[in-house]
Structure formats: C-alpha cells, structure tokens
Structure 1
Amino acid sequence: MSGAFDLGEMHGLLPGLRKRNLDSPPDEVLRRIFGYIQCSADTTHPELLITSVTHHWREVAIKIPSLWTRVSINHDREISVLEAILSRSQNLPLSIYIRLDAFKYRFITDYMAAIDLLVPHVARWRHLSIIATNPVLHLLTTQIHVLPLTALEHFELVQSDTGHIQHFGPFTFEPAVFRTLRLERAMIYPADASLLARLTHMELKESSLAMLDEHKLLSLDYPPSEARTPSILALQHLVLDASNPVPDRGMPYSPAFSAAHLTTLSLTRLAAPSMDRVQALSRFFGTALAAPALHHLTIADIHGHALVMLLSVIRAATFPHLDRLTLASIDTSGVDERVIGAFTEDVAELVLARLDPAPLFRHLLVPAVWPTLRRIELDGVEVPRAAIASQFGLD
C-alpha cells in the first residue's frame, strides 16, 4: 500500500463510510490497515481517530499495544487520556513527545500531573523529545534528570524561546543503549561523561561546542585540572549548526569525541570572533576532519577566520572515502588546488548553493580531478560536467 492516509478527511466522511460497513474486514486486515495509518497519517494522534471510526475498529485497536506507544503531551491534548494510553501500550517501549512552547512564565499543573503519570514507566522510555520555553524546560528537566533513563535511545531537548543557551542535567543514561542526541539552544550534562560512550548521532543547533569539549562535559565552571581522553567513542553522524566554542576557562578545548567512526559531518554557521575561539575551532576541525571513514561532508555559511582555518585544516588532510561534498554560502576564492586535492578520486557527488562556482569548476575542467564525479548540482539544478566550460565561460 502506498501513499498517505488523510485521517481528517476520512473522519469527516464517517456517515457515508459507515453505510459501506467498515466492520466487514477481518481483524488481521484491520491490524494491517491500522499499521499503515499509524506510519503515514498526517496527524499526531492517529490512534484516537482510528478508535472513533466504528465500535468494532475501537475494540480491535485497543487490543493492539503497538498503536499506543506514542505519547504526545501538548497544549491541545487532554491529559485524561494519558493513563489509558499507557495501560493499552502494555510493556512496549514508549516514544514521548512533549511540546509546551506556548507557556512563557507559568506552568499548568495538569501537565506536571502528566509527567507524574509517566515517571513509573521510565524503564520503557525509548524516545524522549521535549520542546518548551525556558521556564518549562527547567521544571521538566528537574523532574526528569533524577530518573535513571536506562532504556532511552534518543533524546531531543529544544528551548523554543530565544536567549542564552541553557544547561540542564545531570542526566543518567545507559551507555549501551543511548544512541542519539539533538539539542537546540540547550546543553546537557551527563552524570558521567562515559555515559555518552556509545553515542552515534549528535546534532547541535544554536548550542555550544562545549558539548564536544571533554573539559566542559561535566561543568562549564569547574573544568578538570588534568587532561582527559575522549568519552564519546562511537560517533558516526555529527551536525553542528551555529554551535560555536565557549571561552576557555583554564583548560583549552579538547575534543570529547573520537572521529574513528565518523561518516557524516555537517558544519554550518560556525564562527570564531576571537583568537581563543579560532584556536578552539582549529582543534575541533583537526579532530573531525581527520575522520578516516568520512563519506559525506557539508560546509555552509562559514565565513571570516573560521573559514580560513577550516580550509587550512582541509589542505593538510586527506579524505580517501568521501563521496558527497556539499558547499553553500561560502567564499570559494580560497578553494585552491590543495583544497581540491584533499578530496580524492572517490568524490561522486558535488552539491553547491548560493556561491560562486567558478573557482571550483576551473579545477573540474581537468579530467583527472575527481574522475568518478557523476553528479554536479548548483542551486538545485543539475549541471553536466561536460558543459561546465561553455556554460560558465571557462574556456
């Protein structure tokens, strides 16, 4: 079955649908239909719409625990149904989505009660996403950070209002289970840095490179006095967007991660307004770009000293397995032969946007440069390599 179900439209047509006897499909067929709806429906509560179609649909749906494993707590959700959802999900892992970004200076007690209902099920929390304003985040994380998050695989924490990056924690994860972390305008402390050892995916948006600084993982104010080895050992995918170094407080920046397994790296809107930030970025770039297994690299909206330092590190590196390079909104005048030469013959796809492509394209006129390059995209339009010279006046 392909395509998405529009449950809202289906719900509006219920009177007509009931005339066709929607109770007729066997239960096993209904189970499969429910599974498709749950995966493709454009709604946050497909299970509630499913149970409102017919009485028989409701009876069948209530007996399928997997339909009740997504818990949404938001402004338009009746908290009263939460207890029933938790009961119907039986002992299956839970995905919890809390979105309370409309509360700025107060917190409604009903939602605190919802957290109280969830706490006894903490051993089932597999996915936890919280999007809320600063005061609400502080209230929620105060309740949550004391819990042992032993089953948690993915954690997302987003401060929805603007302002300073906020720090939350310490959190206790199970390192053998915890795998992905996304932070936006937030930073977390683990109870111990080693709890992040098996983290494979990390995305930091408008956050801080302190999350990747071994000296600052446990405390910004009291960094250790001795050198530390990296705690994050299994990182594969790293996305940094406007997440810059914090000022040194004693110990200089020291990478908290090993790049041995890094395959995807995205660097966007990084800045170095002072010399200590330049030095911190240099150390970070040196670690991340030394990844021996890097396949995909994205560089976007990086300017000034940060870009100069980045290109300098690239010139001194090699990327034997890189097959996709994305460049956007950067000054390409510094992309010389040594930068091009760092990316070896495995490059198969080049994606460019909002930049002057000529400095890059001049190098591509030489057939020996990136001989396996099969696709070039410029601002969303594919450009045949054979047409570069004539199309861009580079004859």
Structure 2
Amino acid sequence: HMGRKSSKVQALKSSQPSPPTMTTTTIFGPHSTTLGAQDATRNRLASIDMQTKNIEVEKASLLSRSEELDAALKSLQAERKAIFNRIAPISYLPNEILAAIFETLHASLEDEHTALTTLSEVVVSHVTTHWRAVAIKASKLWTRIKFRSSQQSIGLLELYLQRSQRLPIDLFVEIDNSNTDSYNHLIRPHIGRCRHLSIYTDERADLIKQLNLLSTQSTPFLQSMDLLCSSTWRGLSQLDSNRPSGGAPNLSALRVRGAEIEDLFDPLYILQSIRMMWCEQIGPPVLHHAANLTHLTLAELQIYGGEYQSISTITLPRLLALSISIRDAEDGALSEFLMALDAPRLEVLHFCNIGETDTSPLWTSTHFPSLHILALDHDLSEFGLLALATSCPHITHLAYGDKVEDLQLLLKSSGVESGAQTATHWANLHTLYLDTPSAPGAVVEMLIARRNIGAPIRKLLVPIKVSLDFHAACSGHVEVEKMRDHLKALYPNWQDWNSGKWAD
C-alpha cells in the first residue's frame, strides 16, 4: 500500500511544470581577443624553435656520420690503391732499376723545361709512397737547381741541395734587386759542386758578387758557364779574385752577354781550357789566350778599321766553327779581322747581318783551306754573294736565309773548261738549304741549270713550314728534306747555345 502511494506522489511531481532556468552569458571585449592571438603566436614560435633544434641535432648527427663514412671510404680507397700498386708489375722492379727509369726520364726532359713545366722529379715523387722514397734517394734527380731571388725560394733550394747530396749540380740563378744574403750563405759551401753555372742579373755589380762566390772555391766539376747582365752600367764592384782558388780545369764552354770577358776573368787563366765560347764583344788579347777553341760565336760584334791590322796573327789551330753577327763595322774591318785569324781547320762559317760594305773578297781563297760549309742568315746582294763565292770557292753545303733571286743568278752562271760547260761558282755544292723558298718554278729552274752544267744539287733542305706544292715541284729533281734546325743538318757538330748546357 505504501509503495503504490509513493508512485503516485512521484507521478504527481513530474506532472508539475519546472521552474525557469537562469542562464549566465560572458561577454569578451577586443582586448581579450588580442591576448589570445598572442598566446597562439608564442606557442607556434616555441614549436618552431623546438622543431628547428631537433632538425639541427639530427643534421649534426648525420654530418658526423657522413664524416665518419668519408673517412672510412678514404681509408678503404687508400688501402685499395696501396694493394693495387703492390701487385702492379712495376712494383716488382728493384729500386735500382726504378731509380734508373726516373733518371732516364729526367735526362730526356732536361732541355724542355719552361716556367710552366712540372719537373719530372716532382711528378714521380708524388705518385706512391714507394716511388717517393725511391725518388728522394735518387740523387741525380735533384741536381738541376733553379733559384730566383724575386721568389725567395730558399726552402726549395735547400731541399734540392740536400737531396742531390754530394753530386755535381747544374745551378741556374736569376738575381734582381732583392737581398741575396740568405742565398749566398746557403749556396757558398756548394758552389764548388757546380757542373754548369748560369747567372742572370740586372746589374753588373750583382754579377760580380755572384762570381766572387767562386773566388775562394775549387771548382773541379765546372764544365760550362752562362753569364748575363741586362744592364750596361758597369758599377763599382770589383772581383775578389780573377779565378777560382783551385782553378777550373774542366771548364770548356763559356757564354757572356752584357759584359766583356776581360772585365770578369783573367783571360790567361780562364780561357785556356775553353772549347766553346759565345760573346758579344771581344778584343784581340782575349783570343790570343783561347787556342783550344773549336766553336766561336761573336754576336753583335763591333769592329773598326785598323783594330786588327797591326796585331800579330791570332792562331786558333782547333777552330772548326765560327759564327759572326755584325752590329757595327767600318769598311774593310771585317776583312781585317778574318785575315788576322789563322784557323786551318775551320769547316763552317755562319754570317748574320754582315752588311753590304764588305762586297770585295773578305779573304784569300786559300786562307781557310778546310772551309766547306757556309750559312747566310740574311739577304746579300749579288755582289756580296760574289765576294763570298770568291773567298771560299770550295763550299759543299750552303744555307741561304732570304729570297733566291740573287743566289739563282750566281748558281746558274757557268763557263767552259776543256770544252765542257762547268759551274763558275761553288762547283762542289751538293747540299742547299733555303729558308724562305719563293715560287717553286724559280727553284726548279736553278736545279735544272745546275744539273746541266755538271754541278747538280743532290739534296734540298727546307723548313717544316714549306708548302706541299713546293715540295712536290722540287722532289722530281732533287731529294727534298724538311728540317727544324738547318745548322745541325748542315753540320751535326753545331752547338745549340739555347739548350742551357753545352759541355759534352
């Protein structure tokens, strides 16, 4: 009964209406909205910073790993190269043979060095550890030494001096106005090892200072010297001594430019062993002390009338080759000089720019009895050629350095002897070098004329640059050969003064 009553009460309550609900509304102003946006921005910045930091940490880890991988890769590559080099056939060569190969390469490139050339000793010493060890111990690789005071390469100079040990050295020195005290101190104990010595200076005083390094030394290995002074100012420096204290018994080649020999040396002592000499100006007293000369080059020579007329004969009994370039000569002065020479073995005479003043015979036809090779670097008139043809009638080899028109007239001239047509000039000529061949027709005409008068040209030498048309036109009449060095072709013993070293 009580349960039924309770249910009725509950039903009655639920049927009655609920009281009204009170609703609370919050209203935000503009200031409240701005604060919320700033909080969101700060949160985003914090998030970006955190992400950036995480990325940087991850990147650093990757970079560290990359460096580790690079190091591991390089180690493996080095190991592979080492193993590969060990099993390469050349690695089985004894060190002595490998060093000999390096030395052969070094010698073959000796005359090809330029300012841009990488030296062979440097190349082979940077290939493998084994090669480097062999190259460093191969003293011959380090005997060609260059020093330029402008570069102050004292460290490199010292390295070469150490690695060359006690072997003779070829020393090339270029001195400008830089201080050379460090160089002088370093090279002085080694100057006596010089086999070849080149000294190029701006001032004569610097050249004298370098030569003074020799004055207290014995130079038993010295074979050749090349001295150049680019300034004509004489300066005040004097030689400490006229010659090395121990002499230079093997000195056989000397080139002097920009200075006179007698200003640098005592000719009585320095020239007795000289076989090859190149100079710009030389006086009779110097030549009197050079009796062993075999090759003499006089460049930019200045000679005056009467200079050699009153002197005693200059006897050069071993002279084989003479080259003369005239800078200034009075009429008849060249003839006086040549007639003053007694050179019975002279075989080759090279004239450059002898001028048109000497158009009369320069010497008697019997004065140089062995002369048979004549080289003319510049054009001469018909009269100049005729003077030479009269002076040296027994020429067999001729080099001509200009157009062939005047030469053509001389070579085509003929006469009659014993009823037969013969060449008037140079009847024994059989080898001809033309430096600037003209139209092939003129040359072919000359070749045919020589053949018809019984004095044929057997070999025609021409420059490498000659045209194919010229070669084809002449080859049907004579053997044609292209040459790079016509003087060497005419006279194999001709010395190349530009090679840097001239001694045998």
Answer yes or no: same fold by TM over 0.5: yes
Residue 128 of structure 1 deviates from its aligned partner by: 0.5
Task: Point out the structure with the larger helix share.
Answer: 2
Contact 2:218 2:248 in 1 (8 A): no
Residue 113 of structure 1 deviates from its aligned partner by: 1.8
The C-alpha deviation readout for 1:365-389, integer Å capped at 9, x for no partner, is: 4344434422222225498987317
> What code does the residue aligned with 1:156 have?
D
Aligned to 1:172: 243
Structure 1 residue 284 corresponds to structure 2 residue 348: no
Contact 1:152 1:178 in 2 (8 A): yes
Structure 1 residue 236 corresponds to structure 2 residue 307: no
Aligned to 1:32: 100
Q: CA separation of 1:323/1:336 partners in 2, compared to 1, >3 Å: closer, same or farther?
A: closer
Contact 1:254 1:283 in 2 (8 A): no
Q: CA separation of 1:283/1:317 partners in 2, compared to 1, >3 Å: closer, same or farther?
A: same
Alignment of 1:128-139 (within 5 A): 128-134=197-203, 136-139=206-209
Tell me, in whole angstroms, the C-alpha distance in 1 between the residues paired with 2:238 and 2:413.
52
Aligned to 1:258: 315
> What code does the residue aligned with 2:373 have?
R
What secondary structure sits across from 2:346 in the alignment?
coil
Q: CA separation of 1:119/1:257 partners in 2, compared to 1, >3 Å: closer, same or farther?
A: farther
Q: Which consecutive residues of structure 2, in runs of 5 or more, have no partner in the other structure?
A: 1-77, 415-421, 454-504
Aligned to 1:66: 140
- Answer 1 or 2: higher relative contact order, Cα 8 Å, separation at least 6: 1
Tell me, in whole angstroms, the C-alpha distance in 1 between the residues paired with 2:303 and 2:181.
35
Structure 1 residue 208 corresponds to structure 2 residue 278: no
Contact 2:356 2:380 in 1 (8 A): no
Tell me, in whole angstroms, the C-alpha distance in 1 between the residues paired with 2:320 and 2:274.
14
Structure 1 residue 377 corresponds to structure 2 residue 445: no
Residue 356 of structure 1 deviates from its aligned partner by: 5.5
Tell me, in whole angstroms, the C-alpha distance in 2 between the residues paired with 1:255 and 1:45.
50
Out of 269, 273, 277, the residue aligned to residue 326 of structure 2 is 269
Contact 2:253 2:277 in 1 (8 A): yes
What secondary structure sits across from 1:303 in the alignment?
coil
Residue 146 of structure 1 deviates from its aligned partner by: 4.9
Aligned to 2:45: none
Aligned to 1:124: 193
> What code does the residue aligned with 1:54 have?
T
Aligned to 2:391: 342
**TM-score normalized by the length of structure 1:** 0.73
Contact 2:141 2:164 in 1 (8 A): yes
Alignment of 1:134-173 (within 5 A): 134=203, 136-159=206-229, 161-163=230-232, 169=239, 171-172=242-243
The C-alpha deviation readout for 1:213-271, integer Å capped at 9, x for no partner, is: 21xx5xxxxxxxxxxx921110110111103248999x987479532111001111342
Aligned to 1:7: none
Residue 300 of structure 1 deviates from its aligned partner by: 1.3
> What code does the residue aligned with 1:370 have?
W
> What code does the residue aligned with 1:272 have?
A
Alignment of 1:321-340 (within 5 A): 321-335=370-384, 339-340=388-389
Tell me, in whole angstroms, the C-alpha distance in 2 between the residues paired with 1:107 and 1:196.
32
Q: Which consecutive residues of structure 1, in runs of 5 or more, have no partner in the other structure?
A: 1-14, 218-228
Contact 1:295 1:321 in 2 (8 A): yes
Structure 1 residue 294 corresponds to structure 2 residue 352: no
Out of 348, 352, 368, the residue aligned to residue 400 of structure 2 is 352
Q: CA separation of 1:304/1:163 partners in 2, compared to 1, >3 Å: closer, same or farther?
A: farther
Contact 1:153 1:177 in 2 (8 A): yes
The C-alpha deviation readout for 1:255-309, integer Å capped at 9, x for no partner, is: 7953211100111134225x8xx65x44432234x4211111111112154x34x
> What code does the residue aligned with 1:92 have?
L
Q: CA separation of 1:145/1:333 partners in 2, compared to 1, >3 Å: closer, same or farther?
A: farther
Aligned to 2:178: 107
Residue 68 of structure 1 deviates from its aligned partner by: 1.9
Residue 351 of structure 1 deviates from its aligned partner by: 0.7
Residue 162 of structure 1 deviates from its aligned partner by: 4.6
Aligned to 1:54: 128
Alpha-carbon RMSD? 3.8
Residue 186 of structure 1 deviates from its aligned partner by: 1.8
Identity between Structure 1 and Structure 2 (%):
22
Q: CA separation of 1:312/1:149 partners in 2, compared to 1, >3 Å: closer, same or farther?
A: farther
What secondary structure sits across from 1:267 in the alignment?
strand
> What code does the residue aligned with 1:362 have?
L
Q: CA separation of 1:24/1:163 partners in 2, compared to 1, >3 Å: closer, same or farther?
A: same
The C-alpha deviation readout for 1:16-50, integer Å capped at 9, x for no partner, is: x9686277251244223212321233437432332
Tell me, in whole angstroms, the C-alpha distance in 1 between the residues paired with 2:314 and 2:133.
50
State how many pairs are aligned: 345
Residue 199 of structure 1 deviates from its aligned partner by: 0.9
Aligned to 1:12: none
Tell me, in whole angstroms, the C-alpha distance in 2 between the residues paired with 1:296 and 1:239.
12
Aligned to 1:9: none
Tell me, in whole angstroms, the C-alpha distance in 1 between the residues paired with 2:257 and 2:361.
29
Q: CA separation of 1:327/1:248 partners in 2, compared to 1, >3 Å: closer, same or farther?
A: closer
Tell me, in whole angstroms, the C-alpha distance in 2 between the residues paired with 1:87 and 1:256.
50
Alignment of 1:360-371 (within 5 A): 361-366=409-414, 367-368=422-423, 369-371=425-427
Residue 319 of structure 1 deviates from its aligned partner by: 3.5
Residue 133 of structure 1 deviates from its aligned partner by: 0.9
Tell me, in whole angstroms, the C-alpha distance in 1 between the residues paired with 2:382 and 2:218.
51
Residue 326 of structure 1 deviates from its aligned partner by: 0.7
Tell me, in whole angstroms, the C-alpha distance in 2 between the residues paired with 1:291 and 1:353.
25
Q: CA separation of 1:83/1:336 partners in 2, compared to 1, >3 Å: closer, same or farther?
A: closer
